[in-house]
Structure 1
Amino acid sequence: MKVVLASKNQHKLVEMRDILSAQGVEVVLESDVGVDVDVEETGTTFEENSLLKAKAVMEASGLPAIADDSGLSVDALNGAPGVYSARYGGEGLDDVGRYRLLLENMRGQLDRKCKFVSVITLCMPNGDVITARGECPGTLAYAPQGENGFGYDPIFFVPEKKKTFAQLSPEEKNAISHRGNALKLFQQKLADYLSGQSK
């Protein structure tokens, strides 16, 4: 089965391919099927934004489309940056600028509890929708550590691993990450869906 990833993020493509290829799912980019969709993420939840993206790309390509909406939710900031994780601090900031701003906003804050959240949505041309949510709890580091990963990975500390996401290998990260957890659940839901289709 070929599905179009509703994202231009190469990191997400690699993670999705790593986990879904075992299921016989071929994940391709929008550019591979000749579409280029910019979706305004107007949702207030990860579920809403994930559905908006998958639906728009499915309609544009005529193929099943998969989207992931994910972000970092910090307890002491009432869940911020949340759905605005990729746009935190405005347009001018890159990944490093965003996590530096977050660390600045958390200065002096002792409650460092946070979690990464990922919601994956698959929209089928026949109108069927499969959604799965995954989370990974952690704490906010006081300074970035590690070279791997992307986004907020250098400041997301996993207590049981005693490392940040950016210090884990891709395999270690996929085994425990929010996206890994969402994809595991999604894999199960997709397998159930496909077995139902083939009857």
Structure 2
Amino acid sequence: MKDLIVASHNKGKIEEIGEMLQHLGIKVIGVNDYISMDEVEENALTLEGNAKIKAEFIFDKVKKATLADDTGLFVRALNNEPGVRTARYAGENPTEKDNRVKLLKELEGKDDRSAFFETVLYLIDDNGKEYSVSGICEGNISTQEIGTKGFGYDSIFIPKGEKRTFGELSMEEKNKYSHRAKALNKLNELLVRILDEDRNSK
């Protein structure tokens, strides 16, 4: 596995994954360098299902190792909403601010503000074999937006063990708790195992 196509338009995310896998000799490439993802419908009922849809769509087109992810925020007092609709919570094309405002409004008057983030990474290797790993970060939703770092719901999510929101933490601090960092660590371990198996089979 020399190249890994990542189902993302986010340059920061692509660079982050690339840096993490650099020691394995894997070149991480954004999907935009190959195909458009505009026609993909993420209509599964689970994060893994949506990540699988994206990964299989790309692999079918490019026949190279592919990585896709899906992330959800699950708020217990809201029956685990927004869940798979995390990015579209306030409508079909909301701003990140719209989503945060709606979530804070839905939680008004509720005592239980516990929630968790989950990221699922779905990998298809060069041979078409499929794998998935995930990472979870428990925490609580703040009563107001605090902090300007990060993106999405970061300014209203306080990870367990912290008094500050993700929006107040540096990237290094955030990665001590982050669901995405935990999933990427598991991905790294998985790829080391896959590469070892490839070498041993030759």
TM-score (norm 2): 0.92
| Structure 2: unaligned runs, 5 residues or longer | none
Mapped partners of 1:95, 1:2: distance in 2: 32
Quote the residue 1:126 is aligned against.
Answer: 127
Quote the Cα distance in structure 2 between the aligned partners of 1:19 and 1:176. 17
Measured after TM superposition, the shift of residue 28 of structure 1 is 1.2
- Any idea what the Cα deviations from partners look like across 1:164-194, whole Å, max 9, x if unmatched? 1111111121232001001111111111111
1:30 aligns with 2:45: no
Moved more, 178-187 or 152-161: 152-161
CA offsets 1:12-53 (integer angstroms, 9 cap, x no match) = 324323433343332211122x31123201111111111111
Aligned residue for 1:10? 11
Residue 159 of structure 2 is matched in structure 1 by: 158
Aligned residue type for 1:133: S
- How many correspondences in the alignment? 198
| Secondary structure of 2:84 counterpart | helix
Which 5+ residue runs of structure 1 have no aligned equivalent? Answer: none
TM-score scaled by structure 1?
Answer: 0.94
How far apart in 2 are the matches of 1:122 and 1:168? Answer: 29
Alignment partner, residue 113 of structure 1: 114
Residue of structure 1 equivalent to 2:20: 19
CA distance in 1, matches of 2:84, 2:23: 29
What CA deviation, in whole Å up to 9, does each residue of 1:38-78 have, x standing for no partner? 32011111111111111111122221110110010001111
| SS of residue paired to 1:118 | strand
Query: CA–CA distance in 2 between the matches of 1:22 and 1:84?
Result: 35
**RMSD between aligned residues:** 1.4
C-alpha distance in 2, partners of 1:165/1:25? Answer: 29
1:183 is paired with a residue whose SS is helix
Shift of 1:197: 1.0
